[in-house]
Structure 1
Amino acid sequence: MENADLIATGVEVEGGGRAAMERNRGAVREALRQIAEVDAANLTRADRERLIEEIAAEVVGYGPIEPLLARDDISEIMVNTARSVFIETSGKMGRTEITFRDEEQLLRICRKMVEGVGRTVDSQSPMCDARLPDGSRINVIIPPLAVDGTHLTIRKFKKDKLVLKDLVGFGALTPEASEVLRIIGRVRINLIISGGTGSGKTTLLNCLTGSIDHTERVITCEDTAELQLQQPHVVRLETRPANTEGSGSITMRDLVRNALRMKPHRIIVGEVRDDAAVDLIQAMNTGHMGSMGTIHANDPRGGLARLEALIRTGPGYQSLPSHIIRKDISDSLDVIIQTQQLHNGRRVITHITEIGGIEGDNVVTQDLFKFNFKAGRLEGQGVIRPKFQDRAAQYGELENLVIALTEASENRA
């Protein structure tokens, strides 16, 4: 049997995620060992084993970064050309000693990653968002847009799904705030999570969905599917970029509009970044209570302004007076939650803010919780009876809500 045939024997052609990849790697390792026994060359056993691992990673894995992908303590992998690989652990970035042989190897690995979900990266499409079988989100950008060479960024997610109590353990919020967020998630409050890149928006959104009743039908709309919902009745939708001819794209707005026809209880938009904001707000205001999304902004007020700006990009909304758009937002949205990554790498929730209606041209807000940077913790702001208390009462959660808010206010520094 030829060497190539021997390596191919037992390798699964189709996907199957991380488990299939490990089975394939085992088959390749065994084939390589058989070849090494016949043609051992002048290598020590240790050198042969190292070479076998490198070839196996190249054939059925993702080359030099395979060990990084296997580590659960890494949240980001940043490949800044073939000779420079950085990682983020516990909110801190650092350079590794890992390198690729050359630009060609790095580009080949990137193409293998994106082709796994039917996408391409080449001179016609030099930027690409995709995901790995384990749900990790990847971004690739190649020359000529990337001046110094191919860049690959991987946002990894923990294998074990986090819950709100885990965020308490990480110091992102207090037990009282965790209880309020649990109630908010359960009683079908419309909310937006606001924050900067890498501030923990998606992680918090995943945790909040843990409170959704298992009888509810949830539809998620994302550019790259990364949400890890914990319910049995979930439909996951993903946008599609245009092909090389410039046609065939499916936008976020297309997905949200289609989701409305699929009898959802809730619609969750991974990131609101365009005029899909129009459809999400309309969904929130037409019976799909408990819908959620994330948005990029530095504070709750900025999140509301960003949402207004995105709505204004929708056809027919450009010329609408601001007070009409703000009235739609205040009628639809109940809560905005702000996340932030501190200078020391710690990710925290800085605001849990309730939308209280509109006065004149301005959306009225009140903070239920606000981060005390001097004390280093999230604190209650003395609001004991929030606007959504009636919804909490309908679900039998009013007493729990009042107790949590009272204790948070009493523990304020």
Structure 2
Amino acid sequence: AITAQSLSTIMTQHQSGLHFLGAVQGPDQVLDASPELFRKQLYAVSQHYKFIIVDIGCDMTALQLGMIEDSSAVILVSTAEVLAINQTRRAMNDLMAATVPGDLFQIVLNMVSRTSLDPRAISQGLRRPIIGSIPQDDNTAYMALQRSTPFVLTAQNTLISAAYHEVVRKLTGGVIQKLKALSRPQNLRSPSLNSPSGQVQGSGAPSSTAIVSKGNRPVDPMTVLKLQIHSELIKEMDLKKDLTSSKGDASKEKELYSRTQRVITQLADKLGHGLARDQRSRIIKEVLDESLGLGPLEDLLSDPSVTEIMVNGCDKIYVEKNGKLTLSTVTFTSNLQLRNVIERIVTPLGRRIDEKTPYCDARLADGSRVNAVIEPLSIDGPAVTIRKFPQDRITPDDYVKRFRSMTQAMVDFLKICVEEGLNIIISGGTGSGKTTLLNVMSSFIPVNERIITVEDAAELQLKQEHVVRLETRPANMEGSGEISIRDLVRNSLRMRPDRIVVGECRDGAALDMLAAMNTGHDGSMTTVHANNPREAVARLETLCLMAGMDLPVRAIREQIAGAVDLIVQISRLSDGSRKILSITEVVGMQGETVTLQEIFRFKEEGFDKNRKIVGTFQAMGLIPTFIEKFEARGVTIPRNLFTSSSSDQGTGSKNPSDTQGSLGGPSRSRMSPTMAPRIQRPNPLKKPGDENK
């Protein structure tokens, strides 16, 4: 802790009562300190002094901006020359673009002479009052330097000392106290009918008119102010044109961001007179995000605990955290701003959304999946659903140790199945984590194989190098030019793929996918919506019938039995966690039925005291029929992998440990220390007969 005694040991104390602490030892050095830590230390020092003056220099780094944010006044010292005044103006504009309130700036002119610019003209040009003009007095200043004593002590009767005392008197006599109000929260008053400017003003006392009504719907005065700023911003700038012209050019985008921020800052000062500093900064950020970014979605997208975002009109944004839905506190300014954000998402992808095509699938730059619906289909305003793509790549270890979604034995089994080219279907309900699991299982594909991915909106992020990503295209304004998943699957067969990975089969593309699996493209994978493996088979039948080929049901079932080797069932449980409920082999046909045998399953056993699901992963004791095929290739899988003793692993215990992640909510686990059986592969460097040596 900083105390008066500790300060006395580090401060240089002058007889005039001034205490000095140097940040660096020379002009060629730069202070390298954490902005957050430095601000905390500076605050602690401020408890022992009435006034603190910090010389921050000319560079505007995060450290300097942090100190400005905590300050009560920013004193800009300039000579009364044209070049110096222009530099001061640029510095003010840069600081205002960084959301520093213009009212904080206090101008002091130094070395003023008879030939200098008129202070009144300077004040008018900078639009700020001049609180002091220090006359040029080279002799007095030189003697003070020679004696290492301030001139206010050695030459008290000079004009330069009198001017200095006048500046101090203005600052300490009311200017700083007035500026301190900018950092204190204030209540906003709604625009008054008697206010010709329509400004939203601050008030130091609570006001009963803090909310105005728009019909029967209450409107936050902050929202009113943001609407006013948006309206004026449209008059000042053509953002749609500017965004289009700067797209893809980093320097132009940066310049547009700075220019827009500067205009918004000026409008906030003009329309929101007397705002508290924290309110002002928040309004500027929100308007800037809505103008150039994704509005209030920006903060939600950067929050790693949020896995899904659902927008129901401009004033209702729900988020999923830990598998549970909650209403967010952030809102859009209006449905118009929400529409602008939707168009900002879909336009770069070559897609459109309007009254003729009022819904659209898209993706964000990070791969997050977006679905948008607008009026007239969405009655209460535009609706947006964003399935966030995890910022950190999810690994198989996460499924075992972090999410407790399966056992290590199950991971090892799936890994060998992918590597050996089994065709796999991932089945699950909406939001169960099918695409995430598909992404993880695709990482098991050998790096020397050519992979073609087909998706509605590209989400898969495979780490292999030899990957071709294909994405569907909607119809154009004339209703032509649509390219569906089925078209891409058929085209991918001509691209010499070793594996075909389809994000989701939801139409007749399932028939083409089965045909690909049956014609030499082993190791392909896809997902379907179904609640259990048997329903997944029925779902595939239905999707194949949608192809319109008039095939008999038995022929379709034979295609399924011949093409699909494994069905992995994943589900989101009632406590928000995701679990692999079943790994099932497709054995073949028996009569008119596709026969299945379950290899692994998750058995629920109830709830613990925290209402988290308790259960056990079990091996069913059945040996997959394809094991002999693997062994013929030299891949040895211990048979005890499929016994309950090697695979039992529960969730829930007397001493649970919380885990959470983007795949699901907290879960409870009692991990078994038993290691999974080792899978042996043939050694390509081992010569025949070596085993006898």
Fold-level match, TM-score > 0.5?
A: yes
Q: Distance in 2 between matches of 1:312 and 1:5?
A: 51
1:71 Cα deviation from its structure 2 partner: 1.3
Between the aligned partners of 1:35 and 1:248, the Cα distance in structure 2 is: 41
Aligned to 1:306: 539
Q: In the alignment, is residue 143 of structure 1 matched against residue 386 of structure 2?
A: no
The one of 518, 522, 528 aligned to 1:295: 528
| Conserved? CA contact 1:129–1:139, under 8 Å | yes
The residue aligned with 1:96 is: 328
Residue aligning to 1:392: 630
Consecutive unaligned residues of structure 2, counting only runs of 5 or more, are: 1-92, 94-234, 606-613, 651-693
What displacement does 1:319 show?
4.4
Equivalent of residue 380 in structure 1, options 606, 612, 619: 619
Give how far 1:313 is off.
Answer: 2.2
Asked if 2 retains the 8 angstrom alpha-carbon contact of 1:25 and 1:57, the reply is no
Matched pairs, number: 405
AA matched with 1:360:
G
SS in 1 for 2:390: coil
Does 2:299 align with 1:67?
yes
In structure 1, the residue matched to 2:164 is none
Alignment of 1:17-28 (within 5 A): 24=253, 28=257
Could you tell me how far 1:176 is from its partner in structure 2? Answer: 1.2
The residue that corresponds to 2:514 in the other structure is 281
1:32 aligned residue? 261
- Kindly tell me: are residues 408 and 230 of structure 1, through their superposed partners in 2, closer, same or farther at Cα, counting changes over 3 Å? farther
TM-superposed CA distance for 1:184, in Å, is 1.6
Q: 1:181 aligns to what?
A: 414
CA offset digits 1:35-91 (Å, max 9, x no partner): 848995444543443233223312321012110011122110000111100000111
What amino acid does structure 2 have at the position aligned with 1:368?
I
Is the 2:497–2:521 Cα contact (8 Å) retained in structure 1? yes
Larger radius of gyration: 2
> Counterpart of 2:688?
none
Q: Within 5 A, what are the aligned runs for 1:86-125?
A: 86-125=318-357
2:260/2:288 contact within 8 Å kept: no
2-structure distance, mates of 1:284, 1:359: 21
Residue 404 of structure 1 deviates from its aligned partner by 3.2
- Following the alignment from structure 2 to structure 1, what is the Cα–Cα distance between the partners of residues 602 and 531? 14
- CA distance in 2 between partners of 1:26 and 1:377 (Å): 57
Note if 1:200 corresponds to 2:464. no
Letter in structure 1 aligned against 2:574: H
> 1:176 touches 1:407 (CA, 8 Å); kept in 2?
no
Shift in CA distance, 36/242, structure 1 to aligned 2, threshold 3 Å: closer
Structure 2 counterpart of 1:357: 588
Look up the match of 2:115.
none
Question: What does the per-residue CA deviation read over 1:9-57, in whole Å, with 9 as the maximum and x for residues that have no partner?
Answer: 99982249xxx69x94696257635884899544454344323322331
Q: 1:192 aligns to what SS in structure 2?
A: strand
Give the letter for the 2:615 counterpart. Answer: G
Following superposition of structure 1 onto structure 2, how do residues 336-347 of structure 1 map, counting pairs within 5 Å? 336-347=567-578
C-alpha spacing 1:339/1:122, structure 2 compared with 1 (3 Å)? same
Aligned to 1:404: 641
CA distance in 2, matches of 1:282, 1:360: 22
Change in 2 beyond 3 A, CA 1:25/1:350:
farther
- The amino acid across from 1:352 in the alignment is I
RMSD (CA atoms): 2.8
Tell me the SS of whatever aligns to 2:473: coil
**How far does residue 397 in structure 1 lie from its aligned partner after superposition?**
3.7
Contact 1:90 1:346 in 2 (8 A): yes
One-letter amino acid of the structure 2 residue matched with residue 257 of structure 1: R
CA distance in structure 1 between the aligned counterparts of 2:247 and 2:362, rounded to whole angstroms: 18
Q: Is the 8 A contact 1:334 1:354 kept in 2?
A: yes
Offset of residue 314 of structure 1: 2.2
**Letter aligned with residue 603 of structure 2:** N
CA distance in 1, matches of 2:286, 2:428: 39
Partners of 1:123 and 1:4 in 2: how far apart? 26
Q: C-alpha separation between the residues in 2 aligned to 1:101 and 1:349? A: 41
Confirm or deny: 8 A CA contact 1:341 1:347 kept in the other structure.
yes
Cα separation, partners in 2 of 1:53 and 1:381, compared to 1, 3 Å: same
Q: Is 1:326 the counterpart of 2:564 in the alignment? A: no
Partner of 1:350: helix, strand, or coil?
strand
Say if 1:9 and 1:255 are closer, same or farther in 2 by CA, change over 3 A: closer
Shift, 1:315, TM fit: 3.4
Going from structure 1 to structure 2, the CA distance change for 1:186 and 1:55 (only over 3 Å counts) comes to same
Go from structure 1 to structure 2 and tell me whether the alpha carbon gap of 1:343 and 1:262 turns closer, same or farther (over 3 Å shift).
same
Counterpart for residue 28 of structure 2:
none
SS state at 1:52 partner = helix
Q: Which residue pairs with 2:470 in the alignment?
A: 237
Unaligned runs of 5+ in 1: none
Q: Is the 8 A contact 2:338 2:382 kept in 1?
A: yes
1:122 & 1:9 partners in 2: Cα distance?
Answer: 22
For 1:117 and 1:332, the matched residues in 2 are separated by: 34
Which deviates more, 25-34 or 227-236? 25-34
**2: CA distance, partners of 1:313 / 1:402:** 41
2:387 corresponds, among 136, 155, 168, to 155
Distance 2:629 2:471 in 1: 31
Which of structures 1 and 2 has the larger relative contact order (alpha carbons within 8 angstroms, sep 6+)?
Answer: 1
Give yes or no for the alignment of 1:366 onto 2:597: yes
SS at match of 1:373: strand
Using structure 2 for the length normalisation, give the TM-score.
0.55
Deviation sequence 1:236-257 (CA, Å, 0-9, x none)? 1111111222111001110000
Query: CA–CA distance in 2 between the matches of 1:10 and 1:360?
Result: 62
Q: After the TM superposition, which residues 254-269 of structure 1 pair with which residues of structure 2 at under 5 Å, given as runs?
A: 254-269=487-502
Task: Give the counterpart of 2:289 among 51, 57, 66.
Answer: 57
How far 1:408 moved relative to its partner? 5.5
Q: What whole-Å deviation, never above 9, does each CA across 1:146-169 have from its counterpart, x for those lacking one?
A: 111110100001111112111112
- 8 A contact 2:620–2:643 mirrored in 1: no
Deviation of 1:412 after TM superposition, in Å, equals 7.3
Give the whole-Å Cα distance in 1 for the aligned partners of 2:326 and 2:548.
45
The answer for the alignment partner of 1:212 in structure 2 is: 445
For residue 347 of structure 1, what is the amino acid of its counterpart? R
Secondary structure of 1:267's aligned partner: strand
- 1:91 & 1:241 partners in 2: Cα distance? 32
SS in 1 for 2:385: strand
User: 1: CA distance between counterparts of 2:589 and 2:370?
Assistant: 40
Contact 2:268 2:280 in 1 (8 A): no
> In structure 2, what is the Cα distance between the partners aligned to 1:36 and 1:73?
31
- Residue identity in the other structure for 1:376: G
Identity of aligned residues (%): 43
Cα shift at 1:327: 1.3
Matched letter for residue 347 of structure 2: E
Provide closer, same or farther for how the CA distance between residues 147 and 55 of structure 1 changes in structure 2, counting only shifts above 3 A. Answer: closer
Take 1:222 and 1:114, find their aligned partners in 2: how far apart are those partners? 16
What is the distance in 2 between the residues matched to 1:241 and 1:267?
22
Contact 2:618 2:649 in 1 (8 A): yes
Q: Deviations over 1:328-360 (max 9, x none)?
A: 111111001111111111111111000111111
